[in-house]
Chain A
Amino acid sequence: MSLEVSLRSRVGAFDLQAQFIAGPGITALFGHSGAGKTTILKMIAGLARPDTGRIVAGGRVLLDRAEGIDLPSHQRRVGMVFQDARLFPHMTVRRNLTYGRWAGKRKASVDFDRIADLLGIDGLLERYPAGLSGGEKQRVAIGRALLSDPDLLLMDEPLASLDNARKREILPYLEEIRDVTGLPIVYVSHEMDEVARLADTLVVLSEGAVLGAGDAIEMFSRLDFGPALGRHEASSLLVGTVADRAPNSGLQTIMLDGAAALTVVNSKLQQGERVRMRIKARDVALSLNRPGGISFRNILPAIVQQIALEDSPYVEVLLETGGQALRARITRQAHDELGIREGLSLFALIKTVAIGQRTLSERR
């Protein structure tokens, strides 16, 4: 099951042009506000119409302007989770959840109790939306979309209206849904944290155009997006397996794919679990020799792959360590003094405290 999107639309001076393929797992549409993310989602859902374009979901043509095909929203089988939940205020949570069945005549192919249990909303069923917290509302909205038996799921910044505590409450549910349902999920966000944690595929948008699309880990390691991925937020994603827990130290070791070991602050993750870590480029330091007498716990041998000189006091360096990409953001002065050049072997230093609970996420 995959989703092919190809759209073009001009509204006033804004020219939107987007083309990407979303496979199983989460495809994140990332970009600053005004990049056209939500508009693309609405066009996939059938709530907005592009000038030209074609949208195919699992072989089913939802839209083909050239062929004159434009299925109305209610025939598209596209579940949508809106930023503001949009629960029906005059119905109980249960009636909201089952709306797709009793009003939309959708099949009951997903088990109600399982979804309610999965989202932790089985205790709210007889309540009305006005009495729910923001996080609860959003979970009900996700459940409502899932229970409408969709072929794919669209999420329009579902966490944007929530505070940080509520965001952390919802994120595991999103991961659970990704793993359990196997539905393609298109997830719109301008939060690097969420994207780093959730995205399998990443589509980077800027001013209505796709700057790049592809595997999230590869996309994160590309230096050519510049400000579109955020200078201060620039980071790389490392993948590994949770190894043993060092007793009493409060630390845990993660074996990176490619054999290097990484020490992180103790997480709740179990031994053997696959994890993804987000390492911010500005948390990585470089050293020509293996340093001693230093507080950095993580010292990884690396080779310089690519250097991006910016029109600023900073330099972005792309490294390869054990087959994985790692970005470092250093000053131009350090770059000059160390004589950093492509192919150079050196050591990347990462502070253990920079890899906390929030930068770790469980993967299948």
Chain B
Amino acid sequence: MTRHLKLDGPDTSRRLDGMAQGVLGRGEPRPEGALKVTGRALYTGDRQPAGAAHGALVRATITRGRVTALNAAPVLAMPGVLAVIDDPRLVRHSGPGGQPNPPEADARSVVYHGQPVALVVAETPEQARHAARALRPDYAPEDAVTDPEDPRAPVDLPEKKQASTGDLDSAIETADVVIDRSYRTASMSAAAMEPHATLAEWEGDRLTLHGTLQMLAVARAQLAAALQIGEDRIRILAPHVGGGFGSKLGITPETVAAAIAARQIGRPVYVVCARPEALEMVSRRSETLQRIRLAADESGRLTGIGHESLVSNLPGQSFSEPVQQATHFTYEAAHRRIVHRVARVHRMMAGPVRAPGEAVGATVFECAMDELADRLGLCPVALRLRNIPKAEPVSGRPYSSNMLAACLTEGARRFGWDERHAAPRARREGEWWIGMGMASAVRVNLVMEAKARVTLHPEATALVETDMTDIGTGSYAVLTQIAAELLGLPMQAVATVLGDTELPKSSGSGGSFGAASTGTAVYLACMELRSRLAEAMGCPEPDLTLKDGHAIHANTRRPIGELMGRALMQAEGHVTPGDATGKVRQATWGAHFAEVAVNAATGETRLRRMQGTFAAGRILNAQTARSQLLGGMIWGIGMALTEELVHDARDGHVVNRDLAEYHLPVNADVPALEVHLLEETDDWATPMQAKGIGELGICGAGAAILNAIHNACGVRVRSFPATLDKVLAGLEQAEAEAAG
């Protein structure tokens, strides 16, 4: 039996408040944690079944054109080589995030440097890689534009992403203060710890595939379309995924290649990407060029907001980094204009990467807000507080909950913001300038359709089943906790099985929607089971207490197995998004505060401390929630200071293709970070009042750091990341000006 809920309005029953088990919300350790830290959790690349052959992708050494001859013969004669796969169904790039349509086929047509054009299959991974490297196709190259700012690049203006209200130009003309600045953010990689990998095996005409995927149902639909077979012939398994951050939302080129190869040679085929492939072939976050215009009166009230962006993607790709997603609803202003341009260039596909939109859009906007505060001589926190709307600008929709002011105020208090010197270059320790900066954090809240099945056994254990993935986020823990809480069972009595397309179709992991969406499906299934137990107990469900395997009502306490008549009980939960999203603006909120030291001699920046204060609905697991926010903040450190996927200006290829030169922040770059979670009850956010949390921590984080750099040394870096050469240029300029 299925309990279905369409989210059309608020649910004020707040049933979780009435539960008795007391496990939900606590920082329960991950049930699969011991498997992971002892190496027994099998990730795709760990399976290594006997008899598997190994594939390596052959990748284009031109930017655009066609493969005119593969020249496979000499490679086929190499030791161990079993096949060179050159199937027209091979795909050029990853599948789009969250959509069933497959990636573009015909890999012989090259659209970016490093694109896969064929797969070499051999007995060992070393033989396959060597042969793939040795294969030298003939190409007919064509001219290609790779730089989004190249005037030759075709530019789209997607209609739905433009917006204009009032008259921004005259607001700017009549404003007391105007900020008009352009900023750049770099191309970035998701750089998940686990590189993309696929193990494909056929039995007759049925394919079993182990993959590194965030959304299994979507991946199955894409793969079925790419292979031109029915979805019912494909089973995908992904019980453990080592990080995704958007790069595993759709299938990747090796997914299709492995499936075709396994079919062709009649053996299981493994394709495990090497690190350079994960960095230059899968997907990236688009670089952005953003022009922010702010018009304000002398009290700091915004009258106009302009936010124009230029992002890029391959020709034909529907995704474009939604830079202005939060600009619509974060701050008040009567006159607004949003312009979103997409340059069509031949760089690796751009796709969603952790907090697509706000990660770069809100971050840059918060830098401009800092410049405005500086110009006004106003405290940056006060400027934000002054411009928080009462209802969503333009639409007039109410906020389901707006905790921005609370986060700003509480964050500032805890951080000691009042110790900040308003003027730059006011605090010096030896060679180091010290400064503080802040930024608002904001991220849209999303819910997706999800199903889950919960089976209750009379011996007071339960099984939660769904095709949901755990990409390191804590899905196992959180879904187990929800079931344990609602069914009155200890954590250890609930088993959660994930990552298998044979199970009910979940939301998958992405867009921070996993825990709230699939969690609600588990919640609904458990509520159905509670109703049946209540019926057996002879009481209304709300009056039933379940705790430690017992049902309690009035003066009666009975083991649930007894109520169940020794037979198992099963229910499905099914949640679908409804009208709620149209009626209110839902978002998650926060504030970042950072203190940095900038070396006056070298321009090096060292983050000294950072604090984030967030509100993201009901917290399901205090420990995994904190980890998500810490992770997001560390991503912000990377965006602010170190991370840039560099494209060679000549051919667009990724220059820094390894983790030695694609600089993720290392431990020494990450000081003690503080995370504070404010209590928030948002009845519009599912019956659990749970909201997304995986992406909020990155939104705005980098701006707090760049704003702190300015406060420290007076240098405005408007191009992320703020590597030392950019700071140094500012220091040298300031010194030259001071010297007259």
**Are A and B a genuine interacting pair, yes or no?**
no
